Amino acid sequence: MRVVRTVSELRDALRRARREDSTIGFVPTMGALHAGHEALMEQARRECDVVVLSIFVNPTQFNDPTDLERYPRTEEADVAAAERAGVDLVFAPFAQEMYPRGATIEVRLAGPLVDTLEGAHRGSDHFHGVTTVVAKLFNIVQPDVAYFGQKDAQQVLVVTALVRELNFPVRIQAVQTVREPDGLAMSSRNVHVQGRDRERALALKAGLDSAQATYDGGERDADAVIAASVAAMASYEVDPEYLAIVDRVTLEPLRTVEPGALVVVAAPVGPVRLIDNATIH
């Protein structure tokens, strides 16, 4: 396995793979790898000839400078995890490589995919940062398949729209959320959830489970299902920033709950803001 820092090094390293028409799988990350990332790398390894992992804490998608500063950086451990998972190349650029001085290009989507939910609470600039860096990474790596975690469901939809609208020859593969044994969704930010807050963090999964249970009990009115979910979270002393039931493709709010509806939730727990989602079945 090789670790490269520059665009030219990465392209040189992939030259043979392109010449041999090998399938290139790409796992874009911000590092601080956990079991969720390992699932992405392992699926890429099963499905592709060559696997590229990127590690880059993208400053343009953070609306809070403190959040950017506190984001965990564990490159040495990340590289070791990538090697164990069978990754062929790690692209770990410095900020100036991705955003050279004088860079002015920004890739922006419009509409509910970037304006609602996370976009409403973090600002749509968050997703403009995501789409800009993902577009750059897709141009740099030129993968056949890119792997993203379903935990960030809205991000998956945004990236899928980016690929569709800009005609990137990339297939987006969403991989099921990986959870801790107690149900907490894996996240790089979980390291900051300690003590009593770690127990309270289970509120998000409790809210999602309540939505499914309420639906299974025969309730179809979205507002009633949401109310039950919020009450379940309150038992953990957690109030959601949002808890919504939306169309799984458009993110439009639903008035009636039906199979395939997406339940999305975000909530602050101690010093950390957590997100999660589940599909009604």
pLDDT tens for the 281 residues of the chain, in order: 999 999 999 999 999 999 999 999 999 999 999 999 999 999 999 999 999 999 999 999 987 888 888 888 999 999 999 999 999 999 999 999 999 988 888 999 999 999 999 999 998 889 999 999 999 999 999 999 999 999 999 999 999 999 999 999 999 999 999 999 999 999 998 988 999 999 999 999 999 999 999 999 999 999 999 999 999 999 999 999 999 999 999 999 999 999 999 999 999 999 999 999 999 99
State the residue range of the domain holding 50: 2-175
Q: Are residues 163 and 213 in the same domain?
A: no
Last residue of a domain, one of 110, 140, 175: 175
Is residue 63 one of the residues assigned to a domain? yes
Is residue 281 one of the residues assigned to a domain? no
Q: Are residues 129 and 207 in the same domain?
A: no
Q: Are residues 132 and 203 in the same domain?
A: no
- pLDDT value of residue 32: 94
Sorted by sequence, the CB contacts under 8 Å of residue 206 that are 6+ apart come out as 232, 233, 235, 236
- pLDDT value of residue 57: 95
- pLDDT value of residue 123: 85
| Inter-residue contact 203 to 238 (CB < 8 Å) | yes
Sorted by sequence, the CB contacts under 8 Å of residue 193 that are 6+ apart come out as 201, 269, 270, 272, 274
Q: Are residues 41 and 137 in the same domain?
A: yes
Sorted by sequence, the CB contacts under 8 Å of residue 278 that are 6+ apart come out as 208, 209, 211, 212, 262, 263
- pLDDT value of residue 64: 81
Is residue 22 one of the residues assigned to a domain? yes
Last residue of a domain, one of 141, 175, 209: 175
Is residue 182 one of the residues assigned to a domain? no
Predicted TM-score (pTM) of this structure: 0.95
Q: Residue 116 belongs to a domain with what CATH number?
A: 3.40.50.620
Q: Are residues 8 and 80 in the same domain?
A: yes
Q: Are residues 115 and 226 in the same domain?
A: no
Backbone angles phi, psi at 11, to 5 degrees: -65, -40
Is residue 163 one of the residues assigned to a domain? yes
Q: Is 233 within any annotated ligand binding site?
A: no
Domain count across the chain: 2
Give the strand order in the sheet containing 272-279: 242-246, 262-269, 272-279
Last residue of a domain, one of 146, 175, 204: 175
Is residue 181 one of the residues assigned to a domain? no
Q: Residue 242 belongs to a domain with what CATH number?
A: 3.30.1300.10
Is residue 180 one of the residues assigned to a domain? no
Q: Is 85 within any annotated ligand binding site?
A: no
- What secondary structure, in 3-state letters, does the chain show? CEEECCHHHHHHHHHHHHHCCCCEEEEEECCCCCHHHHHHHHHHHHHCCEEEEEECCCHHHCCCHHHHHHCCCCHHHHHHHHHHCCCCEEECCCHHHHCCCCCCCCCCCCCHHHHCCHHHHHCHHHHHHHHHHHHHHHHHHCCCEEEEEHHHHHHHHHHHHHHHHHCCCCEEEEECCCECCCCCECCHHHHHCCCHHHHHCCHHHHHHHHHHHHHHCCCCEHHHHHHHHHHHHHCCCCCCCEEEEECCCCCCECCECCCCCEEEEEEEECCEEEEEEEECC
Q: Are residues 137 and 86 in the same domain?
A: yes
Q: Is 149 within any annotated ligand binding site?
A: yes
Is residue 84 one of the residues assigned to a domain? yes
Q: Are residues 196 and 80 in the same domain?
A: no
Residues with a known catalytic role: 37
Q: Are residues 200 and 133 in the same domain?
A: no
Q: Is 176 within any annotated ligand binding site?
A: no
